C-alpha cells in the first residue's frame, strides 16, 4: 500500500518526535516552521521547507496528503490560523498534537477552528471618521435596547471605543446580560422588557439618557409567521413604548435598527418592522435598515454550520434564493455614522455588497470545513418558507431617495405604503394594529 505523504508543521522536539515515530508509517516530505531562522535546516534528512507563506507551494509541490501540527507551546489562536490556511490549500486530513488538544486522532476544521463567516462574502472597504464619531458620542449616556443580543451587543462593544459617558444595556435575556456584565464591568446592565412601560420608565428614571439605539426585536421570519401577534406586540408596540418614553424623557437622538425585509414586506416580521419605522419617523427619530448580518443568530450561516457539524445535509429553500450580507462590525459603524448624519425622520439604509446566492454560500462553507459539496455533504432544496422572498430588495420606488455625505449610506425622508401594510396585517394575520 502506498504510504501517505505527510508534512509536519513545527520543527521543535514534538515535530522531531513525530518524525522518529512515523517513518515506517508515513512518508514525511518535510517540515514547516514559523521561525525563519530554521528554514533550510534538516533533521534525519528531512528539511524545513518554509513557513506559513509557503503552505500552498509545498502542498502542491510535494502532493501532501496529511499535515500534522506539532506546536505544543503555540496558542490555540495560532493553530487556528494555520488550520485555515491548510484548508484553503486543499488539505483534508489535518491532525494536531500534542494529546492535550485532541491526541493523534483525525481532526476536522470544525473541531479546532472558529470559522469567521465574513470569509464567505466579498465586502467592500469602507471609511468612517473615528475622531468625528468620538466627538459626537463623547460624554453621552447611551441606552441600547436588546443590548445583549447579537447586534445590540456589538453596538455596546463598539460604543466603548467612542469615549461615551456611560452605556446602559437593556435586555430580557438575563443569562446573556449577566455574561455581558462579566465581560464589560463598566456597562450598566438593566433586566427589562420593552413591552413593559414600567420597565422602560424605570430605566429612563434611573439614568439620564441622552441617546437610544433600539435593537430589541423579534426577527425569525418563519417562527413569527406562526406567532404574528408577538411580532406586533414586540416590534410595533414595544417600539412605540421606547419611542414615547424616550420622547417624554427629552431624548434627542433615537436610532431604530430596522431591516431590508421592511422593503415591500412579504411576511409579518418585515411588515412589523415597516410599521415600527413609521412610529419612529412620526416621533422625529431615525431608522437604519440592516441587510442580513453574516453569522448572526438565526441567519443561514450558523444553521448551515450546525447541519454540517451534526453530519447532516444542508437544507436550502431555493436554488436561486439570494440575500445581501454585511459584516456586523461594518454595519455598526455605519449605524453610528447614520446617527451623526440624521436630522430626524429619515429612514437610512446601508449600501450592501453584491447579493450572494445562498447555494453558492453553502458550497463555499462546506469547502471551508474541508469537505466537498454533494460528495461529503449533500444540499437539499426544500422550498421557500412562509414569509420569505426569493430575492431580497434594498430600494423602494415609493419615496424620494437621498444621497448622504457618506457613499455607503442612503436615506428616505418619507415613504408611502404604511396604510397598505396595516391592512395586510389585519387581512392576512387577523391582527388590527393602531399606531
Burial letters 196-212, b for 16+ CB under 10 A, else e: ebebbeebbeebebbbb
What backbone phi and psi angles, to 5 degrees, belong to 6? -120, 140
3-state secondary structure of 143: strand
Decide if pLDDT at 24 tops 70.
no
When mean pLDDT is compared over 53-57, 69-73, 142-146, 360-364, the highest value belongs to 142-146
Least confident segment among 20-29, 48-57, 64-73: 20-29
Residue 256 · residue 241 · CB < 8 Å: no
The alpha carbons of the chain give a radius of gyration, in whole angstroms, of 26
* C-alpha span between 76 and 95 (Å, rounded): 14
**Third-level CATH fold of 5-114:** Rossmann fold (3.40.50)
Residue 107 confidence (pLDDT): 38
Residue 231 · residue 268 · CB < 8 Å: yes
Decide if pLDDT at 101 tops 60.
no
Q: Parse the chain into domains and list their residue ranges.
A: 5-114, 132-429
What backbone phi and psi angles, to 5 degrees, belong to 84? -60, -45
- Confirm whether 5-114 and 132-429 share one CATH topology: yes
- Give the chain's mean pLDDT: 85
* C-alpha span between 301 and 327 (Å, rounded): 12
Bridge pairing between strands 399-403 and 106-107: unpaired
Inter-CA distances, 242 with 239, 316, 346, Å: 5, 37, 18
* C-alpha span between 5 and 9 (Å, rounded): 13
Decide if pLDDT at 331 tops 60.
yes
Q: Is the pTM of this model over 0.75?
A: no
C-alpha cell at 276: 415600527
Distance of CA 423 to the CA centre of its chain: 33
Decide if pLDDT at 118 tops 60.
no
C-alpha cell at 160: 466603548
**Third-level CATH fold of 132-429:** Rossmann fold (3.40.50)
Look at residues 108, 145, 190 and name the one whose alpha carbon lies nearest to residue 181: 190
pLDDT in tens, 282-330: 999 999 998 777 666 666 777 887 787 777 788 888 888 887 777 788 8
106-107 sheet: strands from edge to edge: 27-32, 5-9, 66-70, 93-97, 106-107
Distance of CA 258 to the CA centre of its chain: 16
Residue 133 · residue 203 · CB < 8 Å: no
Decide if pLDDT at 110 tops 50.
no
Query: Of residues 119 and 168, which shows the higher confidence score?
Result: 168
pLDDT in tens, 208-248: 999 999 999 999 989 999 999 999 999 999 999 999 999 99
* C-alpha span between 8 and 257 (Å, rounded): 49
pLDDT in tens, 142-170: 999 999 998 999 999 999 989 899 999 99
Inter-CA distances, 335 with 52, 215, 254, 353, 403, Å: 37, 11, 11, 16, 15
pLDDT band at 27 (very low <50, low <70, confident <90, very high): confident
Query: Of residues 198 and 398, which shows the higher confidence score?
Result: 198
Residue 397 confidence (pLDDT): 64
Would you put residue 374 in left (φ > 0), alpha (ψ -120 to 50) or beta? left
Amino acid at each position: 500500500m502506498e504510504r501517505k505523504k505527510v508534512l509536519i508543521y513545527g520543527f521543535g522536539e514534538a515535530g522531531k518526535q513525530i518524525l522518529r515515530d512515523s517513518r515506517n508509517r508515513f512518508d514525511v516530505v518535510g517540515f514547516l516552521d514559523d521561525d525563519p531562522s530554521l528554514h533550510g535546516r534538516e533533521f534525519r534528512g528531512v528539511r524545513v521547507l518554509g513557513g506559513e507563506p509557503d503552505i500552498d507551494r509545498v502542498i502542491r509541490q510535494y502532493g501532501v496528503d496529511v499535515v500534522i501540527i506539532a506546536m505544543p507551546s503555540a496558542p490555540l489562536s495560532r493553530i487556528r490560523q494555520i488550520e485555515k490556511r491548510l484548508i484553503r490549500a486543499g488539505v483534508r486530513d489535518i491532525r494536531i498534537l500534542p494529546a492535550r488538544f485532541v491526541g493523534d486522532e483525525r481532526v476536522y476544521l470544525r473541531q479546532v477552528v472558529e470559522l469567521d463567516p465574513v470569509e464567505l462574502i466579498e465586502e467592500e472597504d469602507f471609511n468612517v471618521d473615528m475622531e468625528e464619531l468620538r466627538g459626537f458620542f463623547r460624554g453621552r449616556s447611551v441606552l441600547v435596547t436588546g443590548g445583549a443580543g447579537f447586534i445590540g451587543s456589538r453596538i455596546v462593544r463598539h460604543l466603548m471605543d467612542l469615549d461615551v459617558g456611560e452605556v446602559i444595556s437593556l435586555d430580557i435575556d438575563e443569562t446573556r446580560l449577566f455574561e455581558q456584565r462579566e465581560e464589560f464591568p463598566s456597562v450598566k446592565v438593566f433586566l427589562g422588557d420593552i413591552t413593559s412601560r414600567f420597565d422602560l420608565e424605570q430605566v429612563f428614571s434611573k439614568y439620564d439618557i441622552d441617546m437610544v439605539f433600539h435593537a430589541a426585536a423579534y426577527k425569525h421570519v418563519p417562527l413569527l409567521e406562526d406567532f404574528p401577534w408577538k411580532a406586533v406586540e414586540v416590534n410595533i408596540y414595544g417600539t412605540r413604548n421606547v419611542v414615547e418614553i424616550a420622547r417624554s424623557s427629552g431624548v434627542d437622538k433615537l436610532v431604530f435598527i430596522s431591516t431590508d425585509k421592511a422593503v415591500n414586506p412579504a411576511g409579518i416580521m418585515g411588515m412589523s418592522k415597516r410599521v415600527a419605522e413609521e412610529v419612529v419617523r412620526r416621533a422625529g427619530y431615525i431608522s437604519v435598515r440592516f441587510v442580513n448580518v453574516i453569522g448572526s443568530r438565526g441567519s443561514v450561516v450558523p444553521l448551515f454550520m450546525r447541519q454540517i457539524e451534526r453530519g447532516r445535509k444542508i437544507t436550502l429553500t431555493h436554488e436561486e434564493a439570494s440575500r445581501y450580507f454585511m459584516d456586523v462590525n461594518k454595519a455598526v459603524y455605519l449605524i453610528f455614522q447614520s446617527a451623526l448624519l440624521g436630522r430626524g425622520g429619515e429612514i437610512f439604509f446601508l449600501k450592501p455588497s453584491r447579493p450572494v446566492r445562498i447555494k453558492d454560500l453553502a458550497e463555499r462553507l462546506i469547502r471551508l470545513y474541508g469537505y466537498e459539496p454533494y460528495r461529503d455533504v449533500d444540499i437539499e432544496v426544500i422550498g421557500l418558507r412562509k414569509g420569505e422572498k426569493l430575492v431580497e430588495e434594498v430600494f423602494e420606488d415609493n419615496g424620494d431617495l437621498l444621497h448622504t455625505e457618506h457613499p455607503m449610506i442612503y436615506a428616505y425622508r418619507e415613504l408611502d405604503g404604511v396604510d397598505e401594510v396595516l391592512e395586510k396585517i389585519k387581512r392576512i394575520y387577523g391582527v388590527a394594529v393602531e399606531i
